[in-house]
Amino acid sequence: MVNKKEIERRRTFAIVSHPDAGKTTLTEKLLLYGGAIQVAGAVKSNKIKKTATSDWMEIERQRGISVATSVMGFEYNGVKINILDTPGHQDFAEDTFRTLTAVDSVIVVIDAAKGVEPQTEKLVKVCRMRKTPMIVFINKLDRPGKDAFELLDEIEQKLGLQVIPLSWPIGMGSGFKGVYNNYFENLQLFTPGKQVIENSIQFSNLSDPELKTYIGDDAETLRSELELVHGVYPEFKKEDYLSGEISPVFFGSALNNFGVKELLDIFIKIAPTPLGRECDVRFVKPEEENFTGFVFKIHANMDPNHRDRLAFVRVVSGTFKRNTNYLHVRQNRKLKFSSPTAFMAQKKTIVDEVYPGDIVGLHDTGNFKIGDTLTEGETLHFKGIPSFSPELFRYVVNADPMKSKQLAKGIDQLMDEGVAQLFVGKHSGRKIIGTVGMLQFEVIQYRLEHEYSAKCRYEPIKLYKTAWFVSENKTQLEDFRARKSSQIAFDKEGREVFLSDSPFALQMAQEKYPDIRFYFTSEF
């Protein structure tokens, strides 16, 4: 039997935010509670900070550090918590989307002064599509910010989330006195400049005149605001949160460690235990006997002399065991892992058994690519790790004819890692690299040179989007293929994509071939 207890005590989630909202600071405070780190600042180095394009060498350096912090596991009150780190830099958005497939819930951090920012919108959209339960943490209450009701309205409108505040701020900025927690019915008082670890006063009857002794004249405002809150927002129900229909909201200040412990305490009570996953043939439940898992991230080794990589596998069901044969479904062959890695307290250790919800790191010499499934023998493929149409495109050209093999291999492996997407022109045979950010082009060039001794250069291509296309109407399909042959390419799996050079061209194609369906993600 699968150890049900182990499943039930696990919570796997990611923190997402627009850069600078406080994701790193919050992560760090959570790790401090779990005893995973001892000092503040330990996670900071993981950050790809506001890096300008020219500063991407720094990113390369940090890649090494980020392996250690890709998954941060720790124990808190008997619960095993896994935080999956997502890169803050928007050029790595696709990395973040893929990581979101491996979590069961998300905490969204919003800066109280800035409100909802573009990157948050994008990420929340992906979570909403997947119905991922989301908790919102409104941060930086110690600074002047927007009004709480205004913020909640903005979240509802811009993020499309139905919110329920479970805590409520008392003042803001220099007048910030603390929060009232609706869930635990307690008052937490804020002392500027002091890191609050535990300082709550049980206070269930807000009409009690004693409230004034704690927060002075703000007592009246708090009472009337909470009355409004109760009138406007529905009652919190855990089921609604778990089904992704409502999102509880908390207010606090990560930097001051204020509201963080409460967030964590409620999180472990309400956040989902490891969920099953849909695959091409059925739904896989975590408590199933047999092990299944999928690769959602691949990290290249920093040492150019060793081309081995670390594949991050989310365990979906059963128990992953060391030195056991598993089926690599895509390659249809058995693989055994002698040193699977678990991620605890930012340290990597070799483990014998890994349970659903956990992430296991597998050393790989080039067998894996993103989305690969491992099982005990069953032929199934997990769904939900699509490639999206890239936004930027370049032809990639070999700059050293003596090294064409190395170049091909390098490009192949970097694409497996999910650094970018490769398309090969059906007619021309030319290679096109598509990315979501400019940075990737430089990263690819640098890594090809340093890890594969290959040189490449880029040439411009006028391309708007790549669209995967299918149709049951063979005549239309053949006509489209014939007329657009110079604008058709193959993706890495050999599937056809239409290279449209403008929104207009795409629209024309859609109108002319109504029976052809065009898709902007590879999974449809």
- Tell me which residues touch ligand G4P (CB under 6 A): 17, 19-25, 44, 47, 88, 139-140, 142-143, 253-256
Nearer to ligand G4P, 131 or 194 (CB): 194
Element (H, E) at 34: none
Nearer to ligand G4P, 72 or 254 (CB): 254
Nearer to ligand G4P, 159 or 298 (CB): 159
Distance from C-alpha of 516 to C-alpha of 497, rounded to nearest angstrom:
12
Q: How far is the CB of 50 from ligand G4P (least distance, A)?
A: 8
- 61 C-beta neighbours (distance < 10 Å), count: 11
Distance from C-alpha of 59 to C-alpha of 447, rounded to nearest angstrom:
12
Q: How far is the CB of 49 from ligand G4P (least distance, A)?
A: 7
Residue holding tokens 């008052």?
A: 187
Nearer to ligand G4P, 346 or 389 (CB): 346
Nearer to ligand G4P, 254 or 414 (CB): 254
Nearer to ligand G4P, 107 or 396 (CB): 107
Q: How far is the CB of 406 from ligand G4P (least distance, A)?
A: 37
Q: How far is the CB of 33 from ligand G4P (least distance, A)?
A: 16
| DSSP per residue, 111-167 | ETTTBS-HHHHHHHHHHHHTT--EEEEEE-TTS----HHHHHHHHHHHH--EEEESE
Q: How far is the CB of 303 from ligand G4P (least distance, A)?
A: 28
Q: How far is the CB of 359 from ligand G4P (least distance, A)?
A: 21
Residue 485 contacts residue 497 (beta carbons within 8 Å): no
Residue 281 contacts residue 292 (beta carbons within 8 Å): no
Q: How far is the CB of 178 from ligand G4P (least distance, A)?
A: 13
Nearer to ligand G4P, 20 or 353 (CB): 20
SS3 call for 28: helix
| DSSP per residue, 224-270 | HHHHHHHHHSPPP-HHHHHTTSEEEEEE-BTTTTBSHHHHHHHHHHH
Q: How far is the CB of 56 from ligand G4P (least distance, A)?
A: 17
Nearer to ligand G4P, 20 or 60 (CB): 20
Nearer to ligand G4P, 259 or 371 (CB): 259
Q: For 487, list phi and psi in degrees, rounded to 5.
A: -110, 20
Q: How far is the CB of 92 from ligand G4P (least distance, A)?
A: 13
Three-state SS for 47-85 is CCCCCCHHHHHHHHHHHHHHHHHCEEEEEECCEEEEEEC
Distance from C-alpha of 28 to C-alpha of 41, rounded to nearest angstrom:
7
Closest to 433 (Cα-Cα) out of 453, 454, 458 = 458
Name the burial class of residue 478, with classes exposed (0-12), middle (13-18) and buried (19+) by CB atoms within 10 angstroms of its CB: exposed
Q: How far is the CB of 28 from ligand G4P (least distance, A)?
A: 8
Q: In angstroms, how far is the first alpha carbon of the chain from the final one?
A: 35
Nearer to ligand G4P, 255 or 448 (CB): 255
Distance from C-alpha of 94 to C-alpha of 119, rounded to nearest angstrom:
12
Residue 448 contacts residue 407 (beta carbons within 8 Å): yes
